[in-house]
Structure 1
Amino acid sequence: MSPWQQCQGGPNRTEPSAMGHLGNGTGRAAAADSCSAVSVAFPLTMMITGIVGNALAMLLVSRSYRAKESRRKRSFLLCIGSLALTDLLGQLLTSPIVISVYLANRSWDAVDPSGHLCSFFGFSMTVFGLCPLFIASAMAVERTLAIRAPHWYASHMKTRVTKAVLLGIWVTVLAFALLPIAGLGRYALQWPGTWCFISTAGGQLAGSHFFACAFAVLGLLSLVVTVACNLATIEALVSRCRTKGAAPRSSKQWGRITMETLIQLLGIMCVLSACWSPLLIMMLKMIFSHTSFDHCKRFSSEGQSPELHKECNFFLTAVRLASLNQILDPWVYLLLRKILLQKFCQAANAVSKCSNNEWKERSITLSEEIRRPAA
């Protein structure tokens, strides 16, 4: 077993001074078994939490989609459901592989002697990394059109259009992730030997750099689009709240629906930015500096470099944050749709200086809507 596959090897290992009492082989084996048991609990917990959250989100979206009062936001619900389905598939396809590698004492070769599983894992990481980012951008654009151009939205934005856009996102990302098969880029085993992703080193250096750079740029562009659209939507909502003090009941109900979906968008946007920005920025930095994280594989107990230690640790943290996105997305939707909605509306009401009478009527309508099981 190579040093980077051992529990005590690599930047996350226990320092030699702390391991001094484990001088014999039995002690080291016991330590490795103990660390392996702790390590496998992390991906196992993530998988269970992600599956439960995404399944619940899909169930609630399905119920809301069938409700008559949700006809105006069915396109948004389709996007939410697609996001939950994408995250669920990502968990089901990647987490069992990681758990198997941990159970094999982090020996990827024992689980995947041919190397084909590594390519599949890297392909899955690419697909289920870009798809949520693109779907979140589509949701942000959809809400911006619904609020800033309601007449055009009502006449042009049908559910079949949303389905076509989502299908286009899936086809585009799948085609992009298959580029290594055509010889442009490649997937390789990454430190600490428990996952595979886009490589920036190897014989096809130029192709690998282009593929990795394209992934990072596309991911960052989708984040920029999401943030820009949400800011435009917020500005439109605040402006509408200030100019329309007394609106018909149907307009107020539409405003409540748009406010609810906006809060969900903001939550998903924050999760996406926090989870993916570190990894995407680090990939670009690594590409432009013509370096890779393959040196983490050669990390050994002799001649430790503090800079290398910090760099490899930050890289692993960034990857884990990106993996958390599949878990946090559905829980953001589940929490923000009821628990935090009323408090956020109160804060938005204070900022926009809406009248007290309008707020009381909106609070009553909101409370009645929350009590409905299909809301």
Structure 2
Amino acid sequence: MSPWQQRPPNGSAAGGPGPRGNGTGRAAERGSAVAIPLTMMLAGVVGNALAMLLVSRSYRAKGSRRKRSFLLCIGSLALTDMLGQLLTSPIVISAYLSGRPWAAMDPSGRLCDFFGFSMTAFGLCPLLIASAMAAERALAIRAPHWYASHMSPRATERGLLAIWAAGVALALLPLAGLGRYSLQWPGTWCFISTAGGSAFAAAFAALGLLSLAVTGACNLATVQALVSRCRAKAGGAQPGSRWGRIATETLLQLLGITCVLAACWSPLLVTMLRMVSEHGAGPCRGTPGGSQRWELRRECHLSLTAVRLASLNQILDPWVYLLLRRILLRRVRQAASAVSKCSSAECRDRDRDRDRSFTLSEEIRRTAA
């Protein structure tokens, strides 16, 4: 999902005639504007490819049997995000660089249908996978015995296949006559039409918000279980400083995941529900005039910004879930060690405790990502 262009390819409203001017200047302007989506696409592809590489190495490593379900979820999320960018970003960039209206580039409308299908399928599947990952973490922490006896890589594979099948099936509904994909402002991308209070658009937005709610609830349940276990360790015979550190790290990770998902997807999903409830075709369909022009232009920019935030999620996912996690946590530990006033003996004891707890810490991070 990468509709990052600020202006339509023709320089005016979608489908309208563009301004006349120097051809070299227009080409330079298009090249400058397209640098943003191109950079974002490359960042997303590189990040997700690196995430899949690290997941593949961890999956083949010895002793990874207990964490393979989580690794499958991470790898599937990275693969889904990367495919979504590879299928949509080149079309948007090509549409902008061509300098032609979408109707001239896609007279049959099939490219618009394909673009809308890709936006829908590869926008919904990451949300559903994130919910599945949150549920997997909650079960691993709150019901470890059930998790150990029922969860397996094969069961995880079946669940991921079911998620992909559900996302593809939902995205195919407009092609079967239930709903419609239409060209969106500023004329460089297509998505679900909200005209006439579309039930399909409402279903997409409601399912997305439900996925966000499930992810947040499961992550909060995981945090609550970790905090309770940390307090039990602190009140027991053994010191609970190690569990306190692990719970704090996990809390930060889960809060980061939840905040990124909510910040990226909530504006778009709420905007879609608002448009459906108003039974309108969106604020950017008409030809405003007079005093309404500025307000409608502002609404157009707000709607486009919401879609851009959703597309950012595909770029941030690998960094939030995998790549920056260990780097940031290592830096936090180094900073905490530098400011703490512990004796050399205490520091050596802490290092030995950290070495002994490496396996447990990795398991908690694996299940609480």
Deviation at 1:76, TM superposition (A): 0.9
CA distance in 2, matches of 1:347, 1:136: 31
Q: Kindly tell me: are residues 369 and 138 of structure 1, through their superposed partners in 2, closer, same or farther at Cα, counting changes over 3 Å? A: closer
Structure-1 residue corresponding to 2:308: 320
Deviation at 1:361, TM superposition (A): 4.6
CA distance in 2, matches of 1:247, 1:51: 49
Contact 1:74 1:159 in 2 (8 A): yes
Mapping for residues 190-269 of structure 1, pairs under 5 Å = 190-201=184-195, 205=196, 209-245=198-234, 264-269=253-258
Q: Does 1:285 align with 2:274?
A: yes
Q: Deviations over 1:135-165 (max 9, x none)?
A: 0000000000000000111111111111111
CA distance in 1, matches of 2:249, 2:66: 13
Contact 1:10 1:300 in 2 (8 A): no
Structure-1 residue corresponding to 2:342: none
Structure-1 residue corresponding to 2:265: 276
Structure-1 residue corresponding to 2:8: 5
Identity over aligned residues, as a percent?
A: 64
Runs (5+) with no aligned partner, structure 1: 12-23, 349-355
CA distance in 2, matches of 1:345, 1:218: 39
Deviation at 1:10, TM superposition (A): 5.0
SS of residue paired to 2:226: helix
SS of residue paired to 1:120: helix
Deviation at 1:303, TM superposition (A): 5.6
Structure-2 residue corresponding to 1:80: 74
What amino acid maps onto 1:94 in structure 2? T
Match of 1:100 among 74, 78, 94: 94
Deviation at 1:286, TM superposition (A): 1.0
Match of 2:284 among 296, 299, 317: 296
CA distance in 2, matches of 1:303, 1:221: 38
Structure-1 residue corresponding to 2:343: none
Q: Kindly tell me: are residues 262 and 174 of structure 1, through their superposed partners in 2, closer, same or farther at Cα, counting changes over 3 Å? A: farther
Structure-2 residue corresponding to 1:184: 178
Q: Deviations over 1:254-291 (max 9, x none)?
A: x96x9877765543332221111100001011111222
What amino acid maps onto 1:273 in structure 2? A
What amino acid maps onto 1:324 in structure 2? L
CA distance in 2, matches of 1:154, 1:360: 30
Q: Deviations over 1:207-232 (max 9, x none)?
A: xx100000000000000000000000
Structure-1 residue corresponding to 2:341: none
Q: Kindly tell me: are residues 284 and 100 of structure 1, through their superposed partners in 2, closer, same or farther at Cα, counting changes over 3 Å? A: same
Deviation at 1:114, TM superposition (A): 1.3
* Matched residue count: 338
What amino acid maps onto 1:113 in structure 2? P
CA distance in 2, matches of 1:25, 1:142: 57
Structure-2 residue corresponding to 1:351: none
Contact 2:8 2:96 in 1 (8 A): no
What amino acid maps onto 1:26 in structure 2? G
Contact 2:9 2:98 in 1 (8 A): no
Q: Does 1:142 align with 2:130?
A: no
Deviation at 1:302, TM superposition (A): 6.3
- Root-mean-square deviation (CA, aligned residues, Å) is 3.3
Q: Does 1:363 align with 2:354?
A: yes
CA distance in 2, matches of 1:40, 1:347: 40
Contact 2:9 2:95 in 1 (8 A): no
Deviation at 1:344, TM superposition (A): 6.1
Deviation at 1:307, TM superposition (A): 1.8
Q: Deviations over 1:74-109 (max 9, x none)?
A: 111110000000011111111111111011125212
Deviation at 1:311, TM superposition (A): 0.8
What amino acid maps onto 1:36 in structure 2? R
Q: Does 1:307 align with 2:295?
A: yes
Match of 2:21 among 18, 21, 26: 26
TM-score of the two chains, using structure 2 as the length reference:
0.81
Q: Does 1:165 align with 2:163?
A: no
What amino acid maps onto 1:160 in structure 2? R
Deviation at 1:35, TM superposition (A): 2.7
Structure-2 residue corresponding to 1:15: none
What amino acid maps onto 1:125 in structure 2? M
TM-score of the two chains, using structure 1 as the length reference:
0.80
